[in-house]
Amino acid sequence: MSESLHQALDLSLFWEYRNVLLHGLAVNFYVFAASAILALLVGLGAALARVNRLWPLRALGTLYVEMFRNAPEYIMVVWVHFVLPLLLSYLIRSRLEFNPFASSVIGLGLVYSGYFAETFRAGIEAIPLAHVEAGRSLGMPEWLVFRRIVLPQVVRRMLPESVNQFISLFKATTIVSLIAVPDLMYDVTMITQQEMRPLPLYTGAALTYFVVVLAGSSALRALSERWRAKIYA
Amino acid sequence: MTAPTIKVVDLHKRFGPLEVLRGVSFEVRRGVVVSMIGASGSGKSTLLRCINHLETPTSGDVLIDGESLCFRNGVDGERKPRSLAEINRIRRNLGIVFQQFNLWPHMTVLGNVVEAPLRVRGLPRKQAMDVANACLARVHLAEKATQYPARLSGGQQQRVAIARALAMEPKVMLFDEPTSSLDPELTEEVLGVMRELARDGTTMIVVTHEIGFARDVSDRVMFLHNGLIEEEGPPEALFGAPKSERLRQFISKHLR
C-alpha cells in the first residue's frame, strides 16, 4: 500500500478529535430535526392546498411545490442566509439578520417541504373516498375525518418514501458548514487547517455519515414495516 | 298513529343530463323495516345516499322526526340550505352500512366502533367503550375487538360496520346492498344479524338483492324503477300478486 493511501485511511487523527467531531455531528442532528419538522408542517400545508376544491389555492400550492422542489439545497441555504434578510429588511424597513442555524433550517426546510408536499398529496389521494364517507355518515366534521381517518393512513402510506427523503435531508445537512454552522463538516475543515491532513478526516466523516444514515434508515424501515404489517395483512 | 321517523318528500337527483331520481316520496314509521328492490340503475343506492346526504339531492327534502335535513328556516322565514355542520348534526340520527364495509384499516375493530361515540357523541371514554363493546356483542364479534379489520372475513367486517353504525344509536339504519360484495356462504351471518336488529324493533331501510330477506323480514317492500317507486306494499302482496309487469319480470328473474 502506498504511503499516501495508508495515511488517507488512517483514522487515528479523526479519533483524536472525536469530542469536537461528535459535537459537530450533534449539530447536524439539530439542523436535521428542525428542518424535518418545518418541512413536514409546511409540506402538509402545501399538499392540502394542492388537493383543495378552490383552484386558486391549488395553483398556489403547485407553484410553491415546483419552486422549492426544483431549487438546489446549496443555493437555497445561501439565498435564505444572505438575500432573504435583505429583502425582509427592505420590506419591514429595519435591519434584519438570520443566524446561520436559522438560515440552514429555513433553507433546507423549504426545499424538503416541496418534496414532502408531493408525498403527502399522493398519500391523501390514495385514501378511498369511501373511508371519508363512512366518517361523514357518522356525523364526523370534516377536520375530524381528516385528523382521525385520512392523516393516520397517509402517514403510514408515505413512510417508506419518507425514509428516503429523511436520508436525503440528513445528507443535505452537510452543506450548512458553508454558512458557518458548526457541524461535522465545519469541524473537519477547521481541523484540516490546523493539521494540514484533510484526507483521513474526510474518510472518517464519510464513515460516520454512512453508519449514522444506515442505522437510522434501517431502524425507521423496520419500524414502518412493523406498523404497516398490522394493517395491510 | 305515531309521526313518521323518516319522511322523504319528492326527492330528485340529477347527475348532469341523467335524472337518477325523478320524484320519490315515502314515509317510514318507527320500528318498521322497509326493503328497496329494483334492477341496478333503478336509483336505489342513490336514494339511500341522498337520504343520508352523502349526495346532495337536486330538489326535495328528507325529514327526520319532522326536522328537515336539507333546509332550515331563515330569520325571514325563507328556506335556506343547511350548512355542513348542521347536516352533520342531523345525520347522526342515520346509521349507514355500505356495500364495501368501508372500515378504517388503521384502527382495531373496537377502535372503529368506539370512534363516533367518543368523538362525535362526546361520551366519556369508559362509557363510549361500554357502548362499543355492547354493539360488538350485538353482532356477535365481542372476541374480535382487538383485531385489525384486515384479519377479518368479509362477513365479519360487515358486521363490524353494522356495530359501528349502531354505536351512534341512530333512529334509522340504512343498508346499501350490505351483502352484495360477500361470498354466498358469508351473506347468511350478516342477514342473521340484520334479522335480529329487525326483531329488536330497529327502524331499517334496506337496499337489497336478497329477495328472501325482503320477503321474510320487511314490513314493506318498495320496487324502484327508473328513479320512481313503481310499486310498494307489504311483501305478501308485492311478491304474491305483483301488479306491474316490470316487477313480475324482476321477481321471476330473482326467484328461480
Neighbours of B1 (CB within 10 A): 4
Q: Rounded to an integer, what is the distance from CA B234 to the centroid of its chain?
A: 19
User: Alpha-carbon distance B225 to B212, whole Å?
Assistant: 20
Nearest to A231 among B54, B94, B148 (CB): B148
Evaluate whether B22 touches B226 at the Cβ level (below 8 Å): yes
Residue A180 amino acid letter: A
B80-109 pLDDT per residue, tens: 888 888 888 888 899 999 999 999 999 999
Assess B253–A contact: CB distance below 8 Å, yes or no: no
- Average pLDDT of the segment spanning A136-163: 92
Q: Are strands B33-37 and B203-207 parallel, antiparallel or unpaired?
A: parallel
pLDDT at residue B3 above 80?
A: no
Assess B122–A contact: CB distance below 8 Å, yes or no: no
A163-194 pLDDT per residue, tens: 999 999 999 999 999 898 999 999 999 998 88
Assess A4–B contact: CB distance below 8 Å, yes or no: no
Contacts of B149 by beta carbon, 8 Å cutoff, 6+ apart: B101, B103, B104, B105, B107, B109, B112, B157, B160
Assess B54–A contact: CB distance below 8 Å, yes or no: yes
Evaluate whether B70 touches B57 at the Cβ level (below 8 Å): yes
Task: For residue B103, give how far its alpha carbon lies from the nearest alpha carbon of chain A (Å).
Answer: 7
The DSSP bridge partners found for residue B19 are: B14
- Check CB contact under 8 Å for B88 and A128: no
- Average pLDDT of the segment spanning B19-38: 93
pTM: 0.87
Assess A56–B contact: CB distance below 8 Å, yes or no: no
Q: A106 pLDDT band (50/70/90 cuts)?
A: very high
- Average pLDDT of the segment spanning A199-216: 92
Q: Rounded to an integer, what is the distance from CA B230 to the centroid of its chain?
A: 20
Q: Rounded to an integer, what is the distance from CA B255 to the centroid of its chain?
A: 24
Q: A30 pLDDT band (50/70/90 cuts)?
A: very high
Cell of B222: 318498495
Q: What is the pLDDT of residue A171?
A: 93
Q: B76 pLDDT band (50/70/90 cuts)?
A: confident
Number of residues written out for chain B: 256
Q: What is the pLDDT of residue A232?
A: 65
User: Alpha-carbon distance A106 to A97, whole Å?
Assistant: 13
Q: What is the pLDDT of residue B1?
A: 52
CA closest to B52 among chain A residues = A137
B189-239 pLDDT per residue, tens: 999 999 999 999 999 999 998 888 899 899 999 999 999 999 999 999 999
Residue-averaged pLDDT of chain A: 91
Grid look-up 322565514 returns: B77
- Average pLDDT of the segment spanning A51-61: 92
- Average pLDDT of the segment spanning B131-144: 95
Residue-averaged pLDDT of chain B: 91
- Check CB contact under 8 Å for A139 and B168: yes
Q: What is the pLDDT of residue B256?
A: 59
Assess A126–B contact: CB distance below 8 Å, yes or no: no
Contacts of A139 by beta carbon, 8 Å cutoff, 6+ apart: B88, B89, B91, B92, B116, B120, B168
CA closest to A149 among chain B residues = B104
The DSSP bridge partners found for residue B18 are: B15
Among A180, A173, A158, A176, smallest CA distance to A212 is for A173
Q: Choose the weakest-confidence range: B153-162, B184-193, B246-255.
A: B246-255
Question: Contacts of residue B102 in chain A, CB cutoff 8 Å?
Answer: 128, 130-131, 133-134
Q: What is the pLDDT of residue B68?
A: 87
Question: Contacts of residue A141 in chain B, CB cutoff 8 Å?
Answer: 84-85, 88
Assess B69–A contact: CB distance below 8 Å, yes or no: no
CA closest to B85 among chain A residues = A141
- Check CB contact under 8 Å for B88 and A149: no
Of B38-47, B135-144, B209-218, B247-256, give the range with the top mean pLDDT.
Answer: B135-144
Q: Choose the weakest-confidence range: A31-40, B50-59, B77-86, B158-167.
A: B77-86
Assess B151–A contact: CB distance below 8 Å, yes or no: yes
pLDDT at residue B5 above 70?
A: yes
Question: Contacts of residue A131 in chain B, CB cutoff 8 Å?
Answer: 102, 104
Q: What is the pLDDT of residue A156?
A: 87
Q: What is the pLDDT of residue A195?
A: 87
Q: What CATH number has the domain bearing residue A223?
A: 1.10.3720.10
- Average pLDDT of the segment spanning B130-159: 94
Q: Please list the alpha-helical segments (H only) found in chain A.
A: 3-9, 12-16, 18-50, 55-69, 73-82, 84-92, 100-126, 129-137, 142-145, 151-172, 184-195, 198-231
Q: Which residue of A136, A137, A142, A156 is the best one to mutate when testing the B interface, meaning the one whose CB has the most B CBs within 10 A?
A: A137
Q: Give the number of beta-carbon pairs within 8 Å between A and B.
A: 71
Nearest to A138 among B105, B106, B116 (CB): B116
User: Alpha-carbon distance B204 to B218, whole Å?
Assistant: 9
- Average pLDDT of the segment spanning A200-219: 92
Angle at A25 (CA atoms; ends A20, A31), nearest 5 degrees: 130
- Average pLDDT of the segment spanning A131-144: 93
Count of domains forming chain A: 1
- Check CB contact under 8 Å for A138 and B165: yes
- Check CB contact under 8 Å for B148 and A233: yes
- Check CB contact under 8 Å for B52 and A137: yes
Please state the ipTM of this predicted complex: 0.90
Q: Which domain holds residue A12?
A: 3-231
Neighbours of B110 (CB within 10 A): 21
pLDDT at residue B75 above 80?
A: no
Q: What is the pLDDT of residue A121?
A: 95
User: Alpha-carbon distance B117 to B122, whole Å?
Assistant: 6
- Check CB contact under 8 Å for A140 and B148: no
